[in-house]
Structure 1
Amino acid sequence: MSTSRIRKEVDEALLAFVDRQRPALLAISDDLAPLLSALDALLTGGKRLRPAFCYWGWRAAGGEDGADGADLVQAAASLELLQASALIHDDVMDSSDTRRGQPSVHRRFEALHGAQSWPGDAEAFGAGAAILLGDLCLSWSSEMFETCGLGGDRRRRARAVYDLMRTEVMCGQYLDMLEGTRGEATAATALRVVEFKSAKYTIERPLHMGAALAGARPDVTAALTGYGLPLGIAFQLRDDVLGVFGDPAETGKPAGDDLREGKRTVLIALTLERASAAQSTALRRRLGDPALDRPGVDELRSIIEDTGGLAACETMIERYLGEAERALRTAPITEEARRALAELAVAATARST
């Protein structure tokens, strides 16, 4: 199955699942309609990488298209509800204004509060509504997976991976918040965040989940780790670069938004390791300033480039990508899966979105 076909089927499965939930929510109250509208808007975007890696983990372990194909797609699509939960909560914690080119969920509900002229704190209402919608998505991700139709034994094996993945990403999110609070992340501590918040969650565990659904041998699972973990790190490092240097039309976020949010990424840590005293002072002074304007963004970009921080991050991306490619070449999987995973590696680490 092609990547575009996987995406189409995942989109259809997500739409069908949310549509099945819609009457139950609206039967409780029509006031819940804005929650559904916010979720509909969020689910229209995204690359669907996690379901794609889940699908090819299944195929790599011997799963075939056929009677189980639609059930597998539903199981894989449940990862998009988990991702929606993570994004909604992440945007609240980071005070992000946009997501996928539109207002973030908490800003959407903050605006609703203002438009209705309700009493009280609009910002608090927006954050509370977003947290609840994120919790709902987390609950629905489990429900969508458990009702996918695949046999109990296979589903139980994959559920163990799913549970571990959710634990890891929440721990990674906490570590990310902690590093931002401390304000002194090193490249090593930033990489620890990358591993658990992104690399395992985006690539390694979805591969393992699909492989578990196909009853993978231990050597196949190990080979998927050899490919998936370094690729996941390269993916997040690329995302960090795009968060500073990416085109807003492609990233869906304002230019330099990661700088305004003060994210203590590997890119920033590498820059600070190489910065002069003056460069370090300028970067620390302006990093995390929500009022950072375009000239300020340009100044920090120049520091990141001039110190060699950007070049060092690009070198790391190539090193981790090379590690993933070498592991993939010797993995005991089908040639079809090998080709598809090689294409996904390129898509996940491309210099534009």
Structure 2
Amino acid sequence: MLELRPTAAEPVGPVSGPLTALDAVQAVEAELEHVLDEGLRRARDVDPVFARDVAGRVTAFVRRGGKRLRTAFAWCGWRAAGGSGDATAVLRTGAALELVQACALIHDDVMDGSSLRRGAPAVHVDLARMHRAARMNGSPEAFATSAAVLAGDLALAWADDLLTETALGSPHGLRLHHEWRAMRGEMVAGQYRDIHAQASGSSCVDEALSIATLKSALYTVERPLALGASLAGAQAHALDALRSAGRCAGLAFQLRDDLLGAFGDSALTGKPAGDDLRTRKLTYLLAVGLGLADASGDERAAEALAPGTVSRSDESVERMRAALERTGARAAVERRISELATTSLGHFARTGAESAVRRDFTVLVARASGVALERAGEAA
């Protein structure tokens, strides 16, 4: 029986039988409510204006949801490593992951100039609107950029506080903190490589994969799996298998995100369609498209996708989409996603996790990658 710690926001009693990863996602919402309420209370004690304008927006952003994939993968890592009994630590770790994700998204939207996130105005856009409505002095955009950076910093501070408290209360706290510390450094490195690639006009496939790995694959799947496993005192062989599984699933997730960024519907994704193409962000999809265009001698496609051809017009975005289709880049990325997702399941099976946990992981990888994996999961 798994015992979930009651919270001030929503009391959670003991739950009979093993929870699935999706059950854990529901349970972590109560944990997040408790953490956010406490963070707001502390912010009000510091300063009411800061609490209203910054802390309030952070809590609203986190409460708007998201896939909560990192929480679910942390749960899978914990269960795969033999975790059972009191689930408090893994749920609190999941809540910390959702807060660090909020930090990453708020900052990412500022750096990319994205206007929409989770179906609502991005935090910096909302802050600029507040500035205009209040008829404050100075540039609304400069104010909003600075305030949004602080909002992201606050989300990270709350995440660090929660993870530190969890580590201090766990017999495996040092291992937990080691994974967390490594994840934070990788996130920053990946974000820097992303903006560096844009500034340098890179079109290298290997560089695109390095960015995807550092910026997304590690902190979306591999590190959450390892964080959960560390709380269960995972043995070396299980942790190695989880890292390999997470690396593959995380890359599949990012490559799917690249496709959605280029071809997705903003009404479904909750973020602007075509933004990566408008800014010519280096993605694996774009790098593959350029390589295929050059190899086939497709000059129109190479010109549409070439470095330095940044244009925000809808016409230029459509030309890029057509080039990615015509060169076969979109199909090639789809194949790569399927390969990575299937390989991930094979690595996860090496953990020796029970069949229910393997099924959970299969569902999550399918959700993250957009690949139908039911049969592969049964085989694993």
> The TM-score by the shorter chain falls in which range?
over 0.9
Residue of structure 1 equivalent to 2:69: 49
CA change 1:286–1:101 in 2 (3 A) is farther
Match of 1:318 among 338, 348, 352: 338
In 2, the alpha carbon distance for the partners of 1:338 and 1:127 equals 43
State whether structure 2 residue 46 is matched by structure 1 residue 28. yes
Matched, 1:125 2:171: no
In the alignment, which residue of structure 2 is the partner of 1:160?
A: 178
- Tell me by how many angstroms 1:150 deviates: 6.8
Task: Give runs of aligned pairs for residues 70-85 of structure 1, distance below 5 A.
Answer: 70-85=88-103
Task: Say yes or no: does 1:278 pair with 2:300.
Answer: yes
Q: Are the counterparts in 2 of residues 71 and 150 from structure 1 also a CA contact under 8 Å? A: no
Q: Quote how far apart the aligned CAs of 1:157 are.
A: 1.1
| One-letter amino acid of the structure 1 residue matched with residue 61 of structure 2 | L
| CA distance, structure 1, for counterparts of residue 69 and residue 87 of structure 2 | 18
Listed one character per residue, the Cα deviations across residues 183-204 of structure 1 (whole Å, up to 9, x for unaligned) are 1221111001111111111101
Q: 1:351 to 1:298 in 2, by over 3 A?
A: farther
Taking the TM superposition and a 5 Å limit, the aligned residue runs for 1:3-42 are: 3-32=21-50, 33-42=52-61
Tell me the equivalent position of 1:292: 313
Q: How does 1:207-222 map to 2 (within 5 A)?
A: 207-222=225-240
CA apart distance, 1:182: 1.1
Please say which of residues 180-189 and 276-285 is displaced more in the overlay.
276-285
Contact 2:80 2:351 in 1 (8 A): no
Distance 1:171 1:321, change over 3 A: same
User: C-alpha offsets along residues 37-69 of structure 1, whole Å, 9 cap, x if unaligned?
Assistant: 3113311221001111111101111111x3x21
**TM-score, normalised with respect to structure 1:** 0.94
- CA-CA distance at 1:5 after TM superposition: 2.0
Structure 2 CA distance for aligned equivalents of residues 105 and 151 of structure 1 = 33
Residue 241 to residue 351, structure 1, CA distance change in 2 (3 Å):
farther
Q: How far 1:145 moved relative to its partner?
A: 1.5
**TM-score, scaled relative to structure 2:** 0.87
Q: Which moved more, 1:113-122 or 1:251-260?
A: 251-260
Q: Deviations for 1:108-134, whole angstroms, at most 9, x for unmatched residues?
A: 111111111111111110010011111
Contact 2:167 2:174 in 1 (8 A): no
What is the alpha-carbon distance in structure 2 between the residues aligned to residue 14 and residue 287 of structure 1? 43
Tell me if the contact between 2:21 and 2:76 (Cα under 8 Å) persists in the aligned partners: no
Unaligned ranges ≥5, structure 1: none
Give the whole-Å Cα distance in 2 for the aligned partners of 1:243 and 1:178.
Answer: 20
Give the Å deviation of 1:4: 3.4
Partner Cα distance (1:285, 1:164) in 2: 32
| 8 Å Cα contact 2:304/2:316 also seen in 1 | no
Measure, in 1, the Cα distance between the counterparts of 2:257 and 2:245: 18
In the TM superposition, 1:182-197 aligns within 5 A as 182-197=200-215
Q: Report the CA distance shift for 1:2/1:246 in structure 2 as closer, same or farther (over 3 A).
A: same
Q: Percent identical across equivalent pairs?
A: 39
Shift of the 119–151 alpha-carbon distance from structure 1 to 2, 3 Å rule, reads closer
Give the aligned partner of residue 190 of structure 2. Answer: 172
Q: Give the alignment's Cα RMSD to 1 decimal.
A: 1.8
Aligned to 2:364: 344
* Alpha-carbon distance in structure 1 between the residues aligned to 2:129 and 2:306: 32
